Structure formats: structure tokens, C-alpha cells
């Protein structure tokens, strides 16, 4: 199957901490539907969205450019798959991975909302540092904060490893 490759200046679709806000957004997918009147793009099949330090993988992404120049998007996975978001911050020796059935993003707020079997893992120096699981996880990329919620009668699960390596320790140990 041929991939559709789109490079665009949809500023703000994936402005996140550590991402270059002037960089292009690169999208590959099996197909693309674009409506110039509504400024809406629908990417289907093996979708990969890349911008700066962030890569998003999904079965379907709907991205809309708003009148104020900001953007919002919704990514979905089908069957037993999940949407995957990876933010690689090499200067901090940190990688953040998010998984969910649906991921929504608004460039106005910098907020990612991971819904449905949501999980966020953070790695420092290549080692798992912490994990958060819940029905929904809200990630504020401008403040670098998380909030997890669970359906009534269930608990949010969190795992934090003791004695994690700091980025400085990684550098001195060559990791």
C-alpha cells in the first residue's frame, strides 16, 4: 500500500515541551481526506504524526485548524491496538510514552487527553522511572503535569521507582 506523505505548517497541532514550535508536522498514512472549507484533514491507516520531539502512531487522526490559527486533533486506534505517543527529550535523558484508545490534543491549552485504558510511562536514562494508569490521563505539556482519573469504583494505579538516576548521573556514568 502506498503511503501518503504530508509536510505541513499546521502550527500548534503538537506544540509540546521540548518540541521546536517552528518545525513542520510530518504525517504519513495510507490515505488522506482534506476539506479546505472546514480546514479538516482525516488521515487513515498506519498514521504516524511527527513534530519535533513527539511521534504519534494511530489508525486514524482527524486534525482541524481553527480560525485563530490554533489546531486540535483526535487520534484513534481500532481493534485491539492503542494510540501511542512518544516524546523523546535527549537533553534530559528522558522518554515519555503514552498509550490509550483515543488521544485528543488542543494547541491552545497544550493539553493531551488520553482516554480508554490510558497509560503513561516515563523513562530516565533508559530505565523505567514511573508509570501512571487510569481511564483517562490529562497531560499538560506546557506545565509538564499529569492528572489521572478512573471510573467510579476503581483506582488509579501509579508506580514510582525508588532511587532513580538523575540526568546528571546518566551523563557521569555514560548512559
Spell out the per-residue pLDDT of the chain, length 175, in tens.
444 444 332 323 343 333 444 457 889 999 999 999 999 999 999 999 988 888 999 999 999 998 888 889 999 999 889 999 998 888 888 898 999 999 999 888 888 899 999 999 989 888 898 898 999 999 887 787 888 888 777 777 777 766 555 556 665 555 5
Contact 120, 113 (CB under 8 A): no
Give the pLDDT of residue 7: 36
Q: How far apart are CA 108 and CA 170, in angstroms?
A: 34
Between CA 63 and CA 71, with CA 65 as vertex, the angle to 5 degrees is: 75
Supply the DSSP symbol for 173: H
| CA 126 – CA 150 distance, rounded (Å) | 29
Q: Which residues pair with 57 in a beta bridge?
A: 48, 84
Amino acid at each position: 500500500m502506498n503511503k501518503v506523505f504530508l509536510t505541513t505548517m499546521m502550527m500548534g497541532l503538537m506544540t509540546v515541551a521540548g518540541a521546536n514550535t517552528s518545525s513542520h508536522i510530518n504525517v504519513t498514512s495510507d490515505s488522506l481526506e482534506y476539506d479546505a472549507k472546514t480546514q479538516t484533514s482525516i488521515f487513515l491507516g498506519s498514521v504516524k504524526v511527527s513534530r519535533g520531539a513527539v511521534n504519534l502512531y494511530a489508525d486514524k487522526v482527524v486534525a482541524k485548524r481553527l480560525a485563530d490559527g490554533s489546531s486540535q486533533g483526535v487520534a484513534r486506534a481500532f481493534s485491539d491496538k492503542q494510540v501511542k505517543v512518544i516524546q523523546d527529550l535527549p537533553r534530559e535523558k528522558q522518554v515519555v510514552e503514552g498509550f490509550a484508545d483515543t488521544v485528543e490534543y488542543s494547541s491552545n491549552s497544550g493539553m493531551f487527553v488520553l482516554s480508554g485504558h490510558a497509560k503513561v510511562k516515563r523513562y530516565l536514562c533508559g530505565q523505567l522511572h514511573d508509570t501512571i494508569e487510569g481511564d483517562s490521563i490529562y497531560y499538560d505539556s506546557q506545565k509538564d503535569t499529569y492528572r489521572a482519573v478512573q471510573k467510579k469504583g476503581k483506582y488509579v494505579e501509579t508506580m514510582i521507582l525508588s532511587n532513580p538516576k538523575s540526568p546528571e548521573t546518566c551523563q557521569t556514568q555514560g548512559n
